[in-house]
Structure 1
Amino acid sequence: MTVSARPGYRFIPTAPSPEAYCELRRAAGLSPKTLAQASAAIPGSWAACHVVHEPTGDAVAMGRVIGDGGWYFHIADMATHPDHQRLGLGARVMEWLLDSIRAAVEDEPYVTLMADEPGRPLYRRFGFQETAPTSIGMKLTTL
């Protein structure tokens, strides 16, 4: 099934290939991941989608949700290629991810994400709010 994103683009309700995932992360300025990491991460997604630029066939926007399917959902890998930003593609991806969660969980899902500065205006438009000082994002830097 495909859903229209905008003329010249095709919305696909699955993750991109591991190769396209790695390339889109790189182009969008996200931390690089290996093909092995991408190949393991993508099947572990609760939901994922991407947008293809029709003339080139390249994946130019993507996002995915990881979570337990019951109440906790984390939006990850929101990325839009710089050449295709400001066209509403990221908003279309976010809309689909949130609609997928709404359709699956009727009783107050808890939806989180880590917001880099460039994505914050988009996330705010969808109602995301900073959690500090109540809670803050943390990461383990060594394992």
Structure 2
Amino acid sequence: MNYQLRETVPEIEDYINIRLAAGMSRKSPQAAAIGLKNGLFSVVVYAEDVPVGIGRIIGDGGCFFEVVDIAVLPQHQKKGLGHMIMQRLMQYIHATALPTAYVSLMADHGTPEFYRKYGFEASLPPKKAGMSLRIS
């Protein structure tokens, strides 16, 4: 299969569908529309002209960057697309982020080793504690 990574914001429907198929939480079309237009950097992987993977960076562009929405359709997983996405996102961060910038992400269970390859470390007590709040 011929895969191509494009630096583009995913379409709302593709964004929602790829996230859901990859086992991630549902986002409403309204929330997705706002979030997608306010991201710092986005990529979409295409198989021919069909979107099969996404990845984004959000944040303030100075002090804080967060890697989000790393998702690949199940039938295209285990083919290096996650690495393709992360490599491009990390290139953007290294080219854009100033010294002292903080780059974070929330890794699903089973994926921390994947993100360690890109320099991420677990935030563990007593030094740090990752926390979250989900609005439902």
RMSD: 1.6
- Once the two structures are superposed, the pairs formed by residues 113-128 of structure 1 within 5 Å of their partners are 113-128=105-120
- 1:48–1:63 Cα contact (<8 Å) kept: yes
- Once the two structures are superposed, the pairs formed by residues 1-143 of structure 1 within 5 Å of their partners are 8-54=2-48, 57-133=49-125, 134-141=127-134
Deviations 1:32-91 (A, max 9, x none): 11111111110110111110111xx32111110111111310111111111111111111
- 2:90–2:118 Cα contact (<8 Å) kept: no
SS in 1 for 2:57: strand
Query: How many aligned positions are there?
Result: 135
Identity across the alignment (%):
36
Gaps of 5+ in 1: 1-6
- 1:50–1:60 Cα contact (<8 Å) kept: yes
CA separation of 1:9 and 1:141: change in aligned 2, threshold 3 A: closer
SS in 2 for 1:118: coil
TM-score by length of 1: 0.87
Counterpart of 2:28, as a letter, is: T
TM-score by length of 2: 0.91
